[in-house]
């Protein structure tokens, strides 16, 4: 699960102003994007055939190359998002928010 970002409003209350995805959420989103764009089982069959020296139709091989290019672009974007999120998280401060008689909860606050 990612991180809700809070900010102190004019009334002195904290409100959610943003959300930063976790690395796991970014990984899942990247995988889903790739899976939704291409039939991965077909791409795996083409890759396996090519690796074993079996004939592959040129049109299928071109699809496979497009898949590899697209998948790497998605992975690269995912890595960039993780880096940006880590930088954004580093700018936040952790605040204890009192909860009645119980233990305070920790929230991340943007100045």
Model pLDDT for residues 67-105, shown as the tens digit of each residue:
999 999 999 999 999 999 999 999 999 988 877 777 777
Mean pLDDT over residues 18-41, rounded?
93
Its pTM stands at 0.79
What residues make up the domain containing 40? 3-109
pLDDT for 83? 98
- Please classify residue 61 by burial: count the beta carbons closer than 10 Å to its beta carbon, then call 0-12 exposed, 13-18 middle and 19+ buried: middle
pLDDT of residue 76: 98
With a pLDDT cut of 70, the percent of the chain lying above it is 99
Domain count, the chain: 1
- Cβ(21)–Cβ(82) under 8 Å? no
């Amino acid at each position: 699960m990612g991180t809700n970002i809070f900010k102190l409003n004019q009334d002195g209350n904290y409100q959610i102003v943003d959300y930063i995805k976790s690395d796991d959420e970014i990984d899942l989103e990247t995988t889903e994007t790739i899976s939704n764009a291409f039939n991965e089982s077909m791409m795996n069959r083409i890759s396996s055939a090519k690796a074993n020296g079996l004939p592959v139709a040129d049109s299928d091989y071109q699809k496979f190359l497009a898949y590899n290019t697209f998948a790497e672009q998605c992975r690269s974007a995912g890595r960039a998002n993780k880096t940006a999120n880590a930088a954004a998280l580093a700018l936040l401060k952790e605040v204890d928010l009192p909860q009645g008689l119980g233990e305070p909860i920790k929230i991340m606050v943007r100045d």
